[in-house]
Amino acid sequence: MTKPSIYYACRLPVAAGGELVNFQHVAALRRKGWRAFALLDDGSKVAVPSRPYAVPMVQLGESMVFQPDDVLVLPEITPPAAWEKFAAMPCRKVMHNQNPYYTYQSFTSMQALNDYGLLGGLCCSRFTAQMLTRLGTTLDWQVVRPYVLPVFAQMADKPKKRQVAFMPRKRPVDAMLLRQIFSNLYPHMADVPWVEISNMARPQVAQVLGESQVFASLSQYEGLGLPPLEAMAAGALVCGFDGHGGQEYATPDNGFWVDDGDLEGFAHAVAKALDLPADEAQMRLLMGQAKVSHFTESRFEQELDLAWRALLGPQGDDFELPQHERPAHAN
């Protein structure tokens, strides 16, 4: 008898943080002894030199046959046509929602989401679960927060340069205006470098954050938002927008947070962070690192295991790998 499996819809090459998290889910489930696979769509380039995680990968195609007890995990950005296509397949479906603001890319209404017949939902934060519930979803959302890669904390003690790191991808116009407003309000700081983080591997991002005194957060419409947490871990002072999802971790003592869209206030926050006395900066960094300690890999694995046991109930045991197929370090 064929044992059931969990398949996470994934893409290669990985182009966004949320796509990487799906691979992390599969890798963690395998370590915990679950039968889990990355399911690559037709557009994925399988022959990519470096793979994000050494997990078993299955190519979606005509030869792929789902069993009724299998579970297919689809992201909240899955196009409606794909949901319609998968509805005809006999397996069960779960939504992995990493950004509630993107949910309407999948379904035109929350009632349509409720009517689809999902087994359940995974999401990245309490903020996301609560927002989806307020919007009308009736799914029992299981919260599995992603973790901050250790490479960021390894940069915490790196000597800091008087510079501002920033990621403009989501708010390019705001990034441009912020720098102009900052230079106008603080002309004596006009020579402070602003280092753009774009199209970098995680170790490169960690390097830039680790050598920057300040990180300017341009978060927007986030389900959680990892970059500010990564900056805290790397020892940079964080200021700017929490992107709403950042309410999960943003407090007055771990960042200079400003109201969304308040670019003038943002500029003042950057200046304050750059001129913060060493003892005050150290205290704020310690508070940030204390918050980051809630986003560890071990906690992530625990939440993931509990989430799947809640989704599957007693049948979860059917998804366990035989001992000889488990990684040597699996629990």
**CATH classification (class only), 150-292:** alpha beta
pLDDT in tens, 55-101: 888 888 877 889 999 999 999 999 999 999 999 999 999 999 999 99
Q: Are 92 and 121 in contact, with CB atoms under 8 Å apart?
A: no
Mean pLDDT by 10 residues, the chain (331 residues): 89 79 95 94 61 77 89 96 94 97 96 97 98 96 97 96 97 98 97 96 95 98 97 98 97 97 98 97 96 97 97 93 69 45
Q: How many other CB atoms are there within 10 angstroms of residue 214's CB atom? A: 29
Q: How many other CB atoms are there within 10 angstroms of residue 125's CB atom? A: 26
Per CATH, is 6-147+296-325 categorized as 3.60.20.10? no
pTM score: 0.93
Q: What's the Rg (C-alpha) of the chain?
A: 21
**Measured torsion, CA atoms of residues 290, 295, 296, 298, in degrees rounded to the nearest 10:** 130
Domain with CATH 3.40.50.2000 in the chain: 6-147+296-325, 150-292
Q: How many other CB atoms are there within 10 angstroms of residue 237's CB atom? A: 27
Q: Are 148 and 288 in contact, with CB atoms under 8 Å apart?
A: no
